[in-house]
Structure 1
Amino acid sequence: MKRAFIMVLDSFGIGATEDADRFGDVGSDTLGHIAEACAKGEADNGRKGPLNLPNLTRLGLVKAHEGSTGKIAAGMDGNADVIGAYAWAHELSSGKDTPSGHWEIAGVPVLFDWGYFSDHENSFPQELLDKLVKRANLPGYLGNCHSSGTVILDQLGEEHMKTGQADFLHLRRLRVPDRLSRRDFWSG
C-alpha cells in the first residue's frame, strides 16, 4: 500500500463510549440520530427520505456504526458491498476533546489530563489575556467564559464582527488553544 487516508469527521460520533456519563454524553450517536430523524421524515427540508450516504457506506461507515453500537442505523443499507477498510474505536485518552482525539488517531494517546480553566466566568487569568491582546495587537476581548461555540457566536458574534475584539472562551471539549478566526481564540 502506497498511501493511507485518515478521514476525521469531528463531532460525528458512531455510538457512545463507556465513560460517556463523565461528559454528559450518554446515548450519543450522531450518525444514528441523524439516520433516525431522516427515516422518520423529520429531516425532509430540502431532501427526503432515509439518510443516503452511498460513498461513505461503501467505505464502511454503516458497518463501523454497527460494530460500535450493535445495530444498523435506521434506513441505512447494512448489506452494501464495502470496498474500504473500516474500524471503530473507543478513545483511551483521558479527555473528550479534538486535540487528544487527533493525537490518539496518530498513535499518541493522551493519558493525562490537559490543563483546565475551572472558573466559568473570568475563565482566563487577566495576565494571559493582557499578553494575548498586546501580542496579537487586538482592540480588546469578549467572552472570557465557559461556553459552547454556537452559544458564544449567537451572544457575541455580531459584536465581534463590529469591533474586531477577540472572543475568548473555554469549551468543555477543547483543552488547548485553537484559532477560530482571524481575531478569535478558543481554549479548553
Structure 2
Amino acid sequence: MKKYKRVFLIVIDSLGVGPMPDSEEFGDAGVNTLGHISESVEEFCIPNLQRLGLANICPLTQIPPAEQPLAYYTKLRERSRGKDTMTGHWEMMGLEVTTPFQTFTDTGFPPELIAELERRTGRKIIGNKSASGTEILDELAEEEIAEGHMIVYTSADSVLQICGNEETFGLEELYHCCEIARELTMRDEWKVGRVIARPYVGKKKGEFKRTSNRHDYALKPFGRTVLNALKDQGRDVISVGKIQDIFVGEGITKAYKSKSSVHGMEQTLEIAETSFNGLCFVNLVDFDALWGHRRDPLGYAREIEKFDEKLGLLLEKLEQDDLLILTADHGNDPTYTGTDHTREKVPFLAYSKSMSGSGELAEQDTFAVIGATVAENFDVQMPQGTIGSSLLEQLR
C-alpha cells in the first residue's frame, strides 16, 4: 500500500455539493452551493479544479466533467447532527457530534446571560440579536465608540460574537471580554460552539471594516481526535487558518494564522517548500464568511477562481510522496433564503503525482473517512470512540 510523507488537507469552507438525505429536516430542501453558484454566473473558470474532477462530482453549467480526471473523487455525507464549522471539522478527525450545538438565532441570548456578561465586563451590551457582522457595525458601532458599550450578536451558527473597535475598545480588552463570555457559555443552558472576537477599525458608518485579528474561543473537542494521535506519534500537524481555533490547539504542533483565503493558500505554498512529515490542515474561510453568509454567488465564484489559481501553483510544488485532499465542512448556498449554513454533502478529491489511477469512488457516509485515511497513512491508531474507515487502499 502506498504511503505518503506529507498530506495536505484543504477545507474550502462551505463548498457543499448538494442536499443530504435529511436536508429538509434542517430547512434546507434543494440546496447545492457549488451547483447554484455555477448557475448564477455567466463565466466560471476553474481549470485546475476541473482537471482534478470537481465537475465530475457536481454538474456545472459552464464546465464539462473531465474525461480523465487526475484525482479520485466522491461525495461525503455528514453523519453528525449539525451543519456548522466545528461539527464538520471534528467529524473529519473522527468525532461524531450527536447533539447539535445551541443556537440563539430567533431570540437573542437570554437576559440572565446578558446581565451576567454586563456585570463581569462592566459594559452595557447593545445588539443581542442575529445579524450580519458588517450590518451590525453600521447600525451600532458609532454608539459603541461614543458610549463605551459592547456589541454582542449571534448568527444562524452556534456562536456568541463580540465587536470591539481596535482603537477605542482595544484588542486586549476585546479578548478579555470574550474570555469571560466563553467561561459563562460553558453552562449547559447557554453553551455555544464558539465565542468570536470581531475587532474592527473605522470611526463612522460606511467606513467600518473588520480586521484579521479575529480570534475564536471554541469548545474543546469532547474526545481525542486523529490530530492528537498524530502528534503523540511524533508527526507534524501544521494548521493554517482557523484550524487551531476549531480544535483549541489540540493535536497541533505548529499554527499559521491567515488574513484571508488567498493568504492561507500563500502560506500553504510556503509550507510545501519545507520538509515535514505529517499533516498540513488548511481552512479557507472567506468562501463562507464573505460570500456564503452574505448570499453573494458572484463573489463566491470569484473566490473559487482565486483559489484555483493558487491550487495550480500548489499542484506544481507537490512532491511524488505528497497527498492532496480537497473537501468542505458544510454548505452555505448563496442562492438560498436567510444567511445560515446549509446541510449538504461535501466534495472529496484526492490526488498525488505518484498515483497510477484516478476516478470515482463510492459515496461515503461520513466525513471521518478523511481522518481515518490520514491515520492509516501514518500508521497511527484511531483514538478510542472515533468513527471512520480508511480509503487509503483505494488511492493508488
TM-score normalised per structure 2: 0.36
Superposed CA deviations along residues 41-69 of structure 1, whole A, max 9, x for unmatched, are 3xxxxxxx3x111122233322232xxxx
Q: Partner of 1:153 in structure 2?
A: 134
- Quick check: 1:176 aligned with 2:163? no
Structural mapping, 1:1-188, within 5 Å: 1-38=4-41, 41=42, 49=43, 51-65=44-58, 72-79=59-66, 81-117=68-104, 120-121=106-107, 123-133=108-118, 137=121, 139-145=123-129, 147=130, 149-150=131-132, 153-154=134-135, 156-162=136-142, 163=144, 165-169=150-154, 171-174=155-158, 175-182=192-199
- Where structure 2 has 5 or more consecutive residues not aligned to the other structure, the ranges are 159-191, 201-213, 219-339, 341-396
How big is the shift at 1:115?
Answer: 3.2
Q: Secondary structure at the match of 1:58?
A: helix
Which of structures 1 and 2 has the larger relative contact order (alpha carbons within 8 angstroms, sep 6+)? 2
Q: Do the aligned partners of 1:62 and 1:73 also contact (CA within 8 Å) in 2?
A: yes
| Greater strand fraction, Structure 1 or Structure 2 | 2
User: Amino acid of the residue matched to residue 125 of structure 1?
Assistant: P
User: Amino acid of the residue matched to residue 78 of structure 1?
Assistant: P
How big is the shift at 1:138?
Answer: 6.9
How many correspondences in the alignment? 164
The 2-side partners of 1:36 and 1:77 are apart by: 13
Superposed CA deviations along residues 8-63 of structure 1, whole A, max 9, x for unmatched, are 2223211111111122211111111111122xx3xxxxxxx3x1111222333222
Superposed CA deviations along residues 153-176 of structure 1, whole A, max 9, x for unmatched, are 32x22244321522322x333351
How big is the shift at 1:110?
Answer: 0.7
The 2-side partners of 1:25 and 1:180 are apart by: 29
CA RMSD after TM alignment: 3.1
- Where structure 1 has 5 or more consecutive residues not aligned to the other structure, the ranges are 42-48, 66-71
The 1-side partners of 2:74 and 2:199 are apart by: 36
The 2-side partners of 1:105 and 1:82 are apart by: 24
Superposed CA deviations along residues 72-99 of structure 1, whole A, max 9, x for unmatched, are 2212130254333433211111122121
Q: Do the aligned partners of 1:16 and 1:25 also contact (CA within 8 Å) in 2?
A: yes
Change (3 A) 1:130 1:62: same
How big is the shift at 1:125?
Answer: 2.7
Q: Secondary structure at the match of 2:25?
A: helix
User: Amino acid of the residue matched to residue 179 of structure 1?
Assistant: I
The 1-side partners of 2:39 and 2:104 are apart by: 37
The 2-side partners of 1:94 and 1:52 are apart by: 34
TM-score normalised per structure 1: 0.70
Q: Secondary structure at the match of 1:115?
A: coil
User: Amino acid of the residue matched to residue 102 of structure 1?
Assistant: H
The 1-side partners of 2:137 and 2:56 are apart by: 39
Q: Do the aligned partners of 1:160 and 1:167 also contact (CA within 8 Å) in 2?
A: no
Change (3 A) 1:32 1:140: same
Change (3 A) 1:140 1:64: farther
Change (3 A) 1:140 1:172: same
Change (3 A) 1:57 1:107: farther
Q: Partner of 1:69 in structure 2?
A: none
How big is the shift at 1:114?
Answer: 2.5
